[in-house]
Amino acid sequence: MRGDGNTLDQYGSYGRQRRTGGERLWRSFEELEQAPEFRLLAENEFAPGALEREGGPSRRRVLELLGASLALAGAAGCTRQPPEKIVPYVAAPEEVTPGKPLYYATAFLLGKVASGILVESHLGRPTKIEGNPDHPASLGATSPLAQAFVLGLYDPDRSKVVIRHGRISSWVNFLAAAAAERERLLARRGAGFRVLTEPVTSPSLAAALRALLAELPEARWHQYQPLTGDHARQGSRLAFGEPLHVLYRLEQADVIVSLDADLFGAGPAAVRYARDFASRRRPDHPAGMNRLYVVEPAPSVTGAMADHRLALSNRQVELAARALAAGLGLPVSPQADAPAKEWIAAVAADLDRSRGRSLVVAGEHQPPAVHALALAINHQLGNLGRTVFCTPPLEAEPVDQMASLKELVADLAAGRVQTLLILGGNPVYQAPADLGFGEALQRAELRIHLSLYEDETSQLCHWHLPEAHPLEAWSDARAFDGTVTLLQPLIEPLYAGRSALEVVSIFAGRPSQTGEEILREYWRGAAGAADFERWWRSALHDGLVRGSEFPPKPVSLRPDLFARLPEPPAAAPLELSIRPDPAVWDGRFANLAWLQELPKPITKLTWDNAVLLSPATARRLELAGGDLVELSAGGRSVRAPVWILPGHADECVTVHLGYGRTRAGKVATGIGFDAYRLQSSDRPWCTSVQLRRTGERYQLASTQHHHAMEGRRLVREATLAEFRRDPGFAHHGEHPPPADLSLYPPVAYEGYSWGMTIDLNTCLGCGACVIACQAENNIPVVGKDQVARGRAMHWIRIDRYFEGDPSRPAIYHQPVPCMHCDHAPCEVVCPTAATVHSAEGLNQMVYNRCVGTRYCANNCPYKVRRFNFYLYADWSVETLKMLRNPDVTVRSRGVMEKCTYCVQRINRARIAAEREERPIRDGEVVTACQAACPVQAITFGNLNDPAARVAELKKDPRNYGILEELNTRPRTTYLARLRNPNPALERL
């Protein structure tokens, strides 16, 4: 048990015993006198190099690994329930029933901002993340990043032990060292002590840090993470005089203008914003369908949803923002070279018509002026308080993070920092390269790093402490709207990691305090509840503290805003925009193979980042996709492959962060290039760049090689006006085969008859369904080489098509799971009857019966079948065995697999229904992809139930099946996409 095993007292007495021994027996006078030289010698018992060979794994390392694997073998055998009381989300059965999972509410953290999740737990093993329907940032859905949260817990490359000077140490040693350090710090009132954290939204951690700082008044607390949000805060300061957090109510807006804001693809509120946006995409919504304008350099999932999208470079986005403000009567002088004047004028007119029912959003990476302009426009349009709300910042101590980091680096360089405690984050890798954080860091005398991985920063620190994963630890955090979410552990720390809260507590002189105690203690005070236990239980059960969201703050525009607005930068010959990666974010998820292999929403690239540029720019620079180029900015350069992306702004290139890791684990180390090396602290997101061809080539692994639909009507689209005129537009040109066209007698599906619809009108192409399916169905990752060979294993893929002019293409997404055809071409050709049709219409794979002729995959017109060309499933890593869904077979080499419509979920619902002697209710079976979808594009259910939502949608005139002319009778169908264009722009 954790409380017994890890207390300082116990170890402390052990330490004392050793010391007494040391006093009795001595080897030399130095030892007897405890001379410092001897202490050094005793610590390094053997001469350097005597034990470890340079390069390659040492004997010691091999033994460590052997030991670790043995320990892991044990870990898999018995799951480790945390000893504290955690509260299951659903009514718990009397006792845990094997085979029946429990769900616990906790939160996924992105940039330390919470979104609520429910974690499925099988006998104490968390296996799957679902959204928390009660949580405002989730509403039951998740992002792809949240789906991979559970893989992060079991990542075999996570740091497992305390490391000191590159060698295995222990918490005991660290606690002793920390106690000694605390004494020294107290003596000098904390002078020279610095704490570097990521921005802290956790009220309890902030309180703990404040308490520590109160004790050590000379100490300083710095906060930094790559996605600082500084520009938004500065913009708000420009507009309102204080750094406020801005919230949007997209469901209230008729007209939405995004100035390079990836509202639905990035950030901790993306899932909620996508849901709110999608709720207004339905043509039958009483308030009408909304209209989205997007201006952005590189196409994002938000841009792909736009009714009108304009590809502009970063500088042009700023000019467009000014022109838009000017067009709405704000005292801004539009620049002479403002782009797309008619387009902007049309948008301004549309906004003007929708005062109070519109909103303008500035992207996080846009300069403060754009943020200020967006706020001013919203103010001008009367949107503030109706669609746009300002609240206090989510961070407990909001700071300008880049300034905070710069200050730390300056102090480090000046030798003013003796002790640096880094709680999370990986600043050596993630700080902009011009700061030279790594070199400065080494000036500190004692460097301690707490993190999930032994990473680039750990390498340069004296102590590396393994951090407890958020699924292993107690903590709290705020969601995008300020809602407090308590995080409860699902499992005892796999590797004796500790949370930031616990480590701060060590420095506060309370090393034996557990995270739960600290958290309860804090909230006992902060909750102000009469019955704290009841409050605590309900907060844990619900996964949020109800009513804790920030109230909107009334604001007024500073009168001198327009005078103080910074001038836009001069035009750069070639502009570089730096963005977080849609899959691995700022690099923190880089070692999660699910995310590495998730095809990035627009490029469909996996396992790499690339230099994205437009077809026209590629032509001018004479570049082809896969050419290796050298990018130089700020005197530093990286070599990177080129990827040509239709819809990208001209004379501008985009790179993504998160790759080029040098010490990140087996998955992420050495893949891609490090875009932080191009980042400058003054202009972190957009700068000028030189591009030089190297003449070399580089293989990128994309999952889609053909980007045009070839005139095949796979994605069907119409404008809202066309749809109103002709609701059946999706069916024009179809050649449906006669109903009785089959050699076999018709099958009546009595009882259940499962089917699915996917609404292309709301689908973002974000990939949440892909990762949810991967997590639910134990789908293996195959690696870059296999993806490049066309062997990715995802059961649901998201096809992305470009249509029209490559400089301004329409971008379509189409998720393609198995169609579960009633006349399935795969079934007739299987020689061993390994794929058969169920009485409920499912096209089933019998893995045991499959001998792997692959005929079924060849004969599948939708190409949704996936073959295990090698033994892709990991059968050896112990922690990954704990991750598996016990309800789904782990497939072996040489068998075919594919989407099952989550048959295990159907059966779970069936068992529950049969026990209660009732039919399965509509909505009781939710497939993994459906559950994760932020926009609820996927609907699944019983087609024989006329009241079922899916049956209703199948009657929608927009409902159509793809390749129906082949007489396959697909059970998965699509709802055609609608666009709501501005008539004024259609004429342009």
User: Which chain residues interact with another protein by CB under 8 A?
Assistant: 704-712, 714, 786, 789-792, 797, 799-801, 814, 816, 825, 828-833, 849-855, 857-859, 861-863, 865-871, 893-896, 963, 966
Q: Please choose, from the candidates 315, 332, 314, the residue with its C-alpha nearest in 3D space to the C-alpha of residue 323.
A: 332
- Residue closer to another protein, measured from CB, 225 or 703: 703
We find the least distance from the C-beta atom of residue 700 to another protein, in angstroms, to be 14
In 3-state terms, what secondary structure has residue 215? helix
Question: Cα–chain-centroid distance for residue 575?
Answer: 27
The answer to whether the CB of 434 falls within 8 A of the CB of 681 is: yes
- Residue closer to another protein, measured from CB, 456 or 597: 597
We find the least distance from the C-beta atom of residue 614 to another protein, in angstroms, to be 22
The CA dihedral of 404, 405, 407, 411, to the nearest 10 degrees, is 140
The H-or-E segment that residue 360 falls in is strand 358-362
Residues in the chain: 988
* Token pair in block for residue 279: 């709720």
- Residue closer to another protein, measured from CB, 666 or 863: 863
- Residue closer to another protein, measured from CB, 7 or 967: 967
The rounded distance, in Å, linking the Cα atoms of 319 and 373 is 11
The rounded distance, in Å, linking the Cα atoms of 83 and 474 is 12
- Residue closer to another protein, measured from CB, 46 or 744: 744
- Residue closer to another protein, measured from CB, 269 or 896: 896
- Residue closer to another protein, measured from CB, 252 or 968: 968
In 3-state terms, what secondary structure has residue 40? helix
In 3-state terms, what secondary structure has residue 744? coil
Count other C-beta atoms under 10 Å from residue 936's C-beta.
Answer: 18
The rounded distance, in Å, linking the Cα atoms of 206 and 621 is 50
We find the least distance from the C-beta atom of residue 277 to another protein, in angstroms, to be 25
We find the least distance from the C-beta atom of residue 718 to another protein, in angstroms, to be 21
We find the least distance from the C-beta atom of residue 800 to another protein, in angstroms, to be 7
We find the least distance from the C-beta atom of residue 715 to another protein, in angstroms, to be 10
In 3-state terms, what secondary structure has residue 567? coil
The rounded distance, in Å, linking the Cα atoms of 588 and 457 is 13
We find the least distance from the C-beta atom of residue 782 to another protein, in angstroms, to be 9
- Residue closer to another protein, measured from CB, 450 or 856: 856
We find the least distance from the C-beta atom of residue 702 to another protein, in angstroms, to be 11
We find the least distance from the C-beta atom of residue 853 to another protein, in angstroms, to be 6
We find the least distance from the C-beta atom of residue 278 to another protein, in angstroms, to be 23
- Residue closer to another protein, measured from CB, 386 or 707: 707
User: Phi, psi (5° rounding) for residue 532?
Assistant: -65, -40
Estimate the crossing angle of helix 203-215 against helix 500-507, to 10 degrees.
20
Count other C-beta atoms under 10 Å from residue 825's C-beta.
Answer: 17
In 3-state terms, what secondary structure has residue 533? helix
- Residue closer to another protein, measured from CB, 524 or 791: 791
We find the least distance from the C-beta atom of residue 179 to another protein, in angstroms, to be 54
Q: Please choose, from the candidates 420, 793, 849, 787, the residue with its C-alpha nearest in 3D space to the C-alpha of residue 607.
A: 787
We find the least distance from the C-beta atom of residue 251 to another protein, in angstroms, to be 32
- Residue closer to another protein, measured from CB, 533 or 965: 965
- Residue closer to another protein, measured from CB, 708 or 839: 708
Strand pairing partners for 478? Answer: 484
Strand pairing partners for 164? Answer: 167, 463
- Cα(first)–Cα(last) distance of the chain, in Å? 70
We find the least distance from the C-beta atom of residue 714 to another protein, in angstroms, to be 7
Question: Cα–chain-centroid distance for residue 106?
Answer: 16
The answer to whether the CB of 106 falls within 8 A of the CB of 95 is: no
We find the least distance from the C-beta atom of residue 772 to another protein, in angstroms, to be 20
The rounded distance, in Å, linking the Cα atoms of 791 and 390 is 47
**What's 479's DSSP letter?**
B
Question: Cα–chain-centroid distance for residue 745?
Answer: 49
SS3 content of the chain, % helix, strand, coil (to 5): 30, 20, 50
The answer to whether the CB of 968 falls within 8 A of the CB of 821 is: yes
* Token pair in block for residue 513: 């305090």
- Residue closer to another protein, measured from CB, 536 or 812: 812
We find the least distance from the C-beta atom of residue 885 to another protein, in angstroms, to be 23
The answer to whether the CB of 594 falls within 8 A of the CB of 660 is: no
Distances, alpha carbon 505 to alpha carbons 163, 175, 210, 495, in Å: 20, 11, 12, 19
Question: Cα–chain-centroid distance for residue 943?
Answer: 34
The rounded distance, in Å, linking the Cα atoms of 816 and 577 is 32
- Residue closer to another protein, measured from CB, 82 or 299: 299
Q: Tell me, what amino acid is at 347?
A: V
**Residue 535 CB-density burial (10 A; 0-12 exposed, 13-18 middle, 19+ buried):** middle
- Residue closer to another protein, measured from CB, 116 or 599: 599
We find the least distance from the C-beta atom of residue 178 to another protein, in angstroms, to be 50
Helices (H), 431-587: 437-441, 456-459, 500-507, 515-526, 532-542, 561-564
We find the least distance from the C-beta atom of residue 850 to another protein, in angstroms, to be 7
- Residue closer to another protein, measured from CB, 27 or 893: 893
- Residue closer to another protein, measured from CB, 529 or 829: 829
* Token pair in block for residue 688: 């000028």
We find the least distance from the C-beta atom of residue 829 to another protein, in angstroms, to be 5
The rounded distance, in Å, linking the Cα atoms of 683 and 578 is 10
- Residue closer to another protein, measured from CB, 447 or 794: 794
* Token pair in block for residue 346: 């049309």
* Token pair in block for residue 612: 């994205």
